Amino acid sequence: MTLRSTLAVHWLVIALSTGPSAFAAATAVPAQPAQQPTRYMIVVTGGELLSGAYPDGHTYFITRTLHPLGLQCVGSMCVDDRQADVKEALRFAAGKAALVIVTGGLGPTDNDITREALSDFTGIALREHPDVLKDMAQRFNTDPNDLRANLRRQTRVPVSGTYLKNAGGTAVGLVFEKPNLVIVALPGPPRELQPMVRDELVPYLSRRFGTRLPGASLTLRFVGLGQSEIDQRLKEHVTLPPEVVTSSQFQGGRVDFTFTLPDDTPENRARLQTLKNQITKYLGDNMYGEGDVSLEQHIVNLLTARGERLALVEAGSGGHLAAALSDADSAGRVLGGAYMAPTVESLGRMLSVPGDAWTAGASPGEKVKHLAAAAVKATGCQWVVATSEVSRDMNGAGYVEAALRRADGSVDTHKVQLRGSGELAMENLTTQLLDQLRRSLK
C-alpha cells in the first residue's frame, strides 16, 4: 500500500528530488557535503488539518524562516496524529533529508503521541530532565512531586539529543540526534512554535549543520494586491541585484515579500534600505508594514499615535475583527468596545438603537450606519467599524454591508464581497475591512 493511500498525505511543497527509496532506513541518508544546502522535510501532524478545520500555517512559517539561512525544504506533508501514520511519514522523510521537522502532538493529552512515536522510530529513549522538571514545577507554583502525571510526562526528553526551551507554553521542543539524521519536534500552537524556531531552533541548526545565521533581510508586507500583481510591478519598476534572493508568501489576502542578502553588513543593510525606498515609490499605497509588524498591529499603532479609539460592531464578520485586533500589542488602549451578534437587529437591541430606526424599508447600509452611531454614543470612541449579517446577491455571491465611521463624524458604507468559504472567507473579510480602516487612518 502506498504512503499516499495509507496516510492521506497532502503535499504542500512539490520539490522532492530523486534519491533513496521512500522507505529507506533513516541511517541510510549519507552525510551531506558542507558546501551543499542542508535539506529538510516537514511533517505536520493533526487530524484537524486533514479535515479542513484549520489551514497549515507551519510550513509557511518554517520555510520562510529557514530559507534565508541556506536550508532547503524538499517536501512537506500533513498526516493524522496516530503513531503508525507519524512513523510511516518519518520513514519517508528520513529517506529524503538528514533533517526532519515535526510539528504538533507534544501536549499533555492522550492523543499527543509525537514524543513516543519519535522515540520508538529512532530507538532513542526518553528520560525526565531535571531542569525541565524544575521549570515545569515553577510554572505551576508547585512541588515537582505534586505535578500531575500528564504534565510530568512533558518533562521527558531524548537521551541522545537535546531540547528547545518554550517561552510560551509547557511543551519543550525535542531534538533526536542520530549520526546521519536529526529529528526536531516542535509544539503545535503557533504562539509557541514561532518563537521557538527563531530563538532556539535557528541557533541549534547553526551549531549542528553549520548553517549560516540570518543575513541581511527585508520583509515588506502588502495588502490589496495579489502576489502575481506585486511581482509584475517589481519587475517593471525595480531593478533587483542578482545576489538578492527574493521569496514571497500569501495568506488571507495579505502578501509578504522578503529580500535577502547573504551577509548582515552595514553595506547590505543600506542596499536593502535603498531597495525599500524604490519599492515604496511604486507600491507604497499597498504596503502596510515591514518585518513582523502585522496589519492589526499597524492599525493599533496608527490609532495610538492619534490618541483615538475604535469600537467594533459585528454581525457578518462574527467577531473576527475583535479577535484579530485583540492579539496586537497595546490593543486594550485603543479598543473601546466590541459587540457581536448574529443579526443587526440583535446588535441594535444591545446598543439601544431606537426602534423607529428599523423600519421595514431600511436598507442594510442604513442599519449599519445606525449601529455605528449607537456605538459612538455607548463607548465614546471616535472610530467605528460595523458589519451587517451576510447577504447574497443575484448570483448567489455572499457579501456584508460595512460602515466605517471616522473621527470627523463622516460615515461611509460599502459592500464587502466574501472570497472563499468558511474560515478562509472570514480571513479575507477581516483583511478587507482592516485595509479600509488603514487607508482612512493614514
Question: What is the structure's pLDDT at 399?
Answer: 93
- Locate 188 and state its grid cell: 503545535
Question: What is the structure's pLDDT at 1?
Answer: 33
Residue 12, classed as helix, strand or coil, is strand
Query: Cα(64)–Cα(60) distance, rounded to whole angstroms?
Result: 6
Q: Which of 171, 161, 159, 103 is nearest to 132 (CA)?
A: 171
Q: Which of 414, 401, 406 is nearest to 442 (CA)?
A: 406
- Locate 145 and state its grid cell: 512531586
DSSP state of 329: T
The domains located in the chain, with CATH, are 3-209 (3.40.980.10), 216-290 (3.30.70.2860), 295-441 (3.90.950.20)
Question: What is the structure's pLDDT at 26?
Answer: 36
Helices (H), 12-141: 47-50, 58-66, 83-94, 114-122, 130-139
Q: Is the dihedral of CA 38, 100, 74, 188 positive or negative?
A: negative
Mean pLDDT per 10-residue interval, the chain, length 442 residues: 34 34 34 63 91 85 84 94 94 96 90 93 95 89 87 93 91 95 94 91 90 79 92 91 83 88 88 94 94 93 97 95 92 95 93 77 87 96 96 90 96 91 88 96 90
Q: Are 56 and 251 in contact (CB under 8 A)?
A: no
pTM of the model: 0.64
Q: Which of 268, 278, 288, 161 is nearest to 223 (CA)?
A: 288
Residue 215: is it exposed, middle or buried by C-beta count within 10 angstroms (0-12/13-18/19+)?
middle
Q: Is the dihedral of CA 384, 388, 393, 396 positive or negative?
A: positive
Question: What is the structure's pLDDT at 364?
Answer: 86
Tally Cβ neighbours within 10 Å of residue 229.
14
Name, in order, each residue with C-beta under 8 angstroms of 146's C-beta and a sequence gap of 6 or more: none
Q: Are 205 and 211 in contact (CB under 8 A)?
A: yes
Three-state SS letters, 264-280: CCHHHHHHHHHHHHHHH
Q: What are phi and psi of 387, to 5 degrees?
A: -125, 140
Question: What is the structure's pLDDT at 431?
Answer: 95
The secondary structure element, H or E, covering residue 441 is: helix 422-441
Question: What is the structure's pLDDT at 378?
Answer: 96
Query: Cα(375)–Cα(119) distance, rounded to whole angstroms?
Result: 56
Q: Which of 117, 208, 132 is nearest to 173 (CA)?
A: 132
Fill in the amino acid letter for 312.
L
